[in-house]
Structure formats: C-alpha cells, structure tokens
Chain A
Amino acid sequence: MNQTPAPVPAWQDAVFKVLKQGGVRQIAYVPDVGHSHAIRSAIADPDIEDIVLTTEEEGVALVSGAWLGGQRAVLLMQSSGVGNCVNMFSLLSSADFPFFTLVTMRGEFAEFNPWQGPMGQATQGALELMGIRVLRVDDPDEAEEIVSAGFDAAFQAGERVAVLLGQRLIGRKKWEHN
C-alpha cells in the first residue's frame, strides 16, 4: 500500500467539527468515501467510540441505546443503507428518541453504477415515510451550517433528522486507477 492520503475536503472537516463540538461520544458507521474523514477522526479521538456495523439498522438501535445511557451518538451511512434501516426506524418514533444521521448519496449525480439508482432515488422518500426530517447539502460552503442545524434539531429539540450529503458534493467516484 503506497497510496498517499488525499487532502481532506474542507466540508468534511467542518462536518466532523460539528459532531465533535456537539459532544458526540459514539460514531457508528458503514463506511463510505464521503465519510472517510469523520471515520478516521473518530478512530483517532480517544473521547469518541467508533463502531463499525455489519448493517446500518444496527446503528439505529445503537444510537438509541447510547441515548438511553446519556450519550449523543450519530450514524454515518450511504444512501443504500437507508433501505436496510426501514423497520428499525420505527424504534425512533415509537420511543421518541432523538436521531441524527449523515447519509452520503449515490445514484443521483454522475453515477456509474446503475444498481445504486433505485435506492438512491428513493432515499429521501423512505426517510420521510418513516418520520425522519430530511435536510440536504450540495454546496460545500453550506455543509457546516446545514449539518449544524440538523444536529441541533436532533439533540436540542429531540427531532429525528437526516442530512443527505449530495453526490455532487462528494464528487465523482474514480473507477479506474491512472
């Protein structure tokens, strides 16, 4: 492995700072390139538990357990993971848990893989059907403000909020090296 780490986009740095400054103590995730800085930062931070999941619905349950125990926890996932969570989302409204998730989008902008399309295009609708409010970031300059607004709605007002990080924000996936 001789890959040189790519520079961290400023918006990714801003997103992690919102979580850190908001007192998040657990970050659960199924990886995605758009979350890579937050995941690396969580692993490196002694005050934050990083939890790698086998499937995203575990994260919905885990962050609820963290709240039962008095900690703020967030879920990082890709749009495909939202589909995996649908029934588990009922936990959030049945028990009135605050919830904050960051969702990196696929299947919506310059997508190479057609298999990402169906769930990516249904992601917002699926979240809203399950009672989760959806915010969205496409402009990197707005990332901090929108993520922060969603975060506060979750942990100060007790809402269930997803912030979609648009595929245009994340950038084209490189399918071939060279």
Chain B
Amino acid sequence: MDTTASSPRASRRAFVSRLLAATPDALVITGLGSAAYDVFAAGDRDRNYYLWGAMGGAASIGLGLALAQPDQSVVVITGDGEQLMGIGSLGTIAVKQPKNLTIVVLDNGHYGETGMQRSHSSLGTDLVAVAKGFGIADAFATSTLEGSDDIARRVMARAGTVFAQVFVEVEELPRALPPRDGPYIKNRFRAALGLKPF
C-alpha cells in the first residue's frame, strides 16, 4: 500500500461532512483534536459527543455506547494518533463485534495538534492490518471523498463492526472549536436519546 505524501488523499473536512450528511441519525463520538474540529465544522448536532482529552478512549466510549444502544448506529471519528494510543481497544471491540459500531480513523500520519510530528502510521504501521489482526474482518482503507459513501452505507446497515482508515491530506486547517463543557455535551447527548437526568 502506497501511503506516501504524494499519493491522493481526501480532504478531511469534506470527507467528514459528506459522511455525516449521509448518516444524520448516527451517534458520533470524536477523538480529541482535529477529528473533533472536523465533526463540529460539519455542523453541531445533539448526537455528537466531543472529547477534549481522554486520549485513546474514543473507540472504547463508542463500544460502551454501541452495546447500550444496539438499535442506533454509532460512529467513532478519530485520528491516527488517538487510535494508536488506545490500539488495544480494537481487540476489545473485536471480541464483542457490535453490529452497530463503525470506527473511522482520519489518518494524516501525523500528530496535528502538537506540531505535525510523524506518527506510527506514516512510519510503517498498517492500521488496517492491525484491525484485521485483532479480528475486525471488515477493515479497509480509502483515500477518496467517494469512499465516505461506502462507510455511510455500512453505518446505516448496522450489519457488523467496521474499521475504516481514511487517508487525509496533511494540512493545518483553521480550528473549529466544539463546546468544551463536558457535562453540557453529556446531558445534551443523553437528552437526544430520551434519557433523563438521574
């Protein structure tokens, strides 16, 4: 697989925007940093849960949510660095195989928030092979905007755990800052599911 900077890559904001437009009811968990900004830039939704910390935890939050809400589509949208920090969670997810969980890794091969240092995924790690090795059979990569349509179909179908690595441009975009008030987004998210405060 050619993952050099010269190969074609998707625009991350356009990709996320197209994916979420096609999955309007999905419950979305974002990793911290650029992935959260991309999701917020696509339009704030009550069904978005943005992380501002807890690095490595996005996929695991998605798993707990997917198990709790089996009739809802759950999408984790995160970056390569965040997923690498919680890489074992792919094994935990593979054991449970929730049909309604899709993990989307926006992979620019770099830690964008801290000055674009290279990450493992541009230094030899093949995240699709890792996901498959953990036991997520429906794991694949895409590098085109149209690739979001394949992911959206899987999200809506809720037919099996999905891992999608999306090669995105190495670019520093203007930050689009979602709310950082954790209790607010938690309560808003739960209210969107009809859940009451305790």
For the complex, give the distance between the alpha carbons of A156 and B58 in Å. Answer: 26
B69: chain A residues within 8 A (beta carbon)? 69-70
Minimum Cβ distance to chain A for residue B57 (Å)? 3
For the complex, give the distance between the alpha carbons of A25 and B65 in Å. Answer: 12
For the complex, give the distance between the alpha carbons of A65 and B68 in Å. Answer: 8
Q: Judging by beta carbons under 8 Å apart, are B53 and A65 in contact?
A: no
Chain B interface SS verdict (over half): helix
Minimum Cβ distance to chain B for residue A27 (Å)? 11
Q: Judging by beta carbons under 8 Å apart, are B185 and A95 in contact?
A: yes
* B92 in the interface (beta carbon within 8 A): yes
Query: In this complex, what residue of B is CB-closest to A96?
Result: B183
Q: Judging by beta carbons under 8 Å apart, are B57 and A54 in contact?
A: no
Q: Judging by beta carbons under 8 Å apart, are B89 and A66 in contact?
A: no
Q: Judging by beta carbons under 8 Å apart, are A73 and B64 in contact?
A: yes
* B42 in the interface (beta carbon within 8 A): no
Q: Which of B112-120, B155-163, B169-177, B189-197 contacts A (4 or more CB under 8 A)?
A: B189-197
Minimum Cβ distance to chain A for residue B175 (Å)? 19
Contact of B60 among A61, A70, A87, A96 (CB under 8 A): A61
For the complex, give the distance between the alpha carbons of A60 and B55 in Å. Answer: 12
Given contacts A54-B91, A70-B193, are A62 and B54 in contact (CB under 8 A)? no
* B84 in the interface (beta carbon within 8 A): no
For the complex, give the distance between the alpha carbons of A61 and B88 in Å. Answer: 13
Residues in B28-69 with C-beta less than 8 Å from chain A: 29, 49, 51-58, 60-69
Q: Judging by beta carbons under 8 Å apart, are A91 and B186 in contact?
A: no
Q: Judging by beta carbons under 8 Å apart, are A58 and B88 in contact?
A: yes
Q: Judging by beta carbons under 8 Å apart, are B190 and A55 in contact?
A: no
Q: Judging by beta carbons under 8 Å apart, are A53 and B57 in contact?
A: no
A66: chain B residues within 8 A (beta carbon)? 64-65, 67-68
How many residues of chain A are within 8 Å of chain B by beta carbon?
37
Given contacts A65-B62, A70-B190, A94-B182, are A55 and B67 in contact (CB under 8 A)? no
Q: Judging by beta carbons under 8 Å apart, are A88 and B57 in contact?
A: yes
Q: Judging by beta carbons under 8 Å apart, are B92 and A155 in contact?
A: no
Residues in B55-104 with C-beta less than 8 Å from chain A: 55-58, 60-69, 72, 86, 88-89, 91-92, 95-96
Minimum Cβ distance to chain B for residue A26 (Å)? 6
Q: Judging by beta carbons under 8 Å apart, are A61 and B64 in contact?
A: yes
29 A–B contacts, CB within 8 A, in A order: A51-B67, A51-B96, A57-B56, A61-B58, A61-B86, A62-B61, A62-B63, A65-B63, A65-B66, A66-B68, A68-B61, A68-B190, A69-B27, A69-B64, A69-B68, A69-B69, A69-B193, A70-B69, A70-B190, A70-B193, A70-B195, A73-B68, A88-B56, A91-B51, A94-B53, A94-B54, A94-B182, A95-B182, A96-B186
Given contact pairs A61-B58, A68-B49, A97-B186, enumerate 19 new A-B contacts (beta carbons under 8 Å). Answer: A28-B64, A49-B96, A54-B91, A57-B57, A57-B86, A62-B64, A65-B29, A65-B63, A66-B64, A66-B67, A67-B64, A68-B189, A68-B190, A69-B65, A71-B68, A87-B53, A87-B54, A90-B54, A95-B186
